[in-house]
Structure 1
Amino acid sequence: MLVVGLTGSIGMGKSTAAARFRARGISVFDADAEVHRLYAGPLSEEIERAFPGSVAGGVVDRGKLAAQLVADPHRFKDLEAIVHPRVHEAERRFLQDEKTHGAAMAVLEIPLFFEGGRDEHVDAIVVVTASPELQRERVLARAGMTDARFEAVVARQLPEAEKQSRADFIVDTNGPVENCNSQIDRIITKLLPLSATAYDKYWR
């Protein structure tokens, strides 16, 4: 089974690209969705201990947590030490399930893919990109997003040029959704014949 990494900076169009993979019958693990699930209960107590005042009603308030992280960016490492192991466990379960069901390909949608040193864990890397202007417009349209929070997120991510240089495939999401979809379709055609070694090496 081919394991594909799908990544890109915030607001670049990962969700749009992931939706096309799913529409083509290829399962996608959404790391950010898993974080939301963990914030909704499983990790809330541990995060509250590490970041007092960040949890309300048993659920992590992402705005309050983000405010603490913006105020002290070094604490991102503390949060990652809590969250990342649980997300990695979920990724492994997802891939093992896909393998059991005979999938030819599965996708891991991971925002901090390169930053987390995940390059070797997949067979191919797809990076989505858009102009800085469109990226900012998309992100600031999100509920609760501020310039400071946006800048804090971007500061933790690799420069766009470096991400693209390390990609096997690049998807430009500046245009209409149909254009993104056609790019994904072409990439899938090129992915299918590739040698699949990452699963046996890292995910069994």
Structure 2
Amino acid sequence: MILLILNTYEKKLLTAILLVGSFSLAYSQQGRVGINTVTPAATFDVQANTTNNSLPDAVLVPRMTRAQLEAKNTAYTNGSGSANQNGALVFISDVTSGTGTGKTMNVQAKGFYYYDAPNSVWVAVTPNLKVSVGTSETPTNTLVGASQIYAIKGSFNANGTSSSVSIPSPVGMTSLYSITIYKTGSGMVYDRSLYSYNITSTPNNAVTGSPNMSVIYPSGNYDYIMEYLK
């Protein structure tokens, strides 16, 4: 027979280990894991520790830049079983690096993204993440089916005598999604109308309004945001 003589500290440590072991066994049998709770209400239940305000309460997912996520492109597949990362969650902390194409074509702003394995693309958890649209082509966080919506900013001058405005179509555009026109310097939306567009022959442009229409753009400068598919 082996006799163990334990001091008070060792007794407490042993008791804690036995309790943790018994809890782990109980929860593994239930298929549930709890943090800060002995009665998890789901497969994984994390509850706040409201008795210790010196410790932050949160769940941290992997945090990385867009370029770092793109470096792992081949690790995320659209297969099945162990090769399927459908629903994987990451937080993107920076989008100034990387290409923002392919699997990361929707990663255009900081925030949470999940992996949509069937479409082999990362999708913003918050779809209205802000994207700054400039005079160069900008991928937005909007999808039509599996097709990416792009946006570009431009400007034109109206002479006050015609409502017909010709706006050049961006290179590669296959279909127009919308045009928003607003007065330069005011930010006031003037028009979201679209009557026709032409991307297959000269002139290769989008046309808002018509000379036969009674609505005429007042003389002045206007800015526009064109959204399109390609």
TM-score (normalised: structure 1): 0.23
> Larger relative CO (CA 8 A, sep 6+): 1 or 2?
1
Larger fraction in strand = 2
Structure (1 or 2) with the larger CA radius of gyration: 2
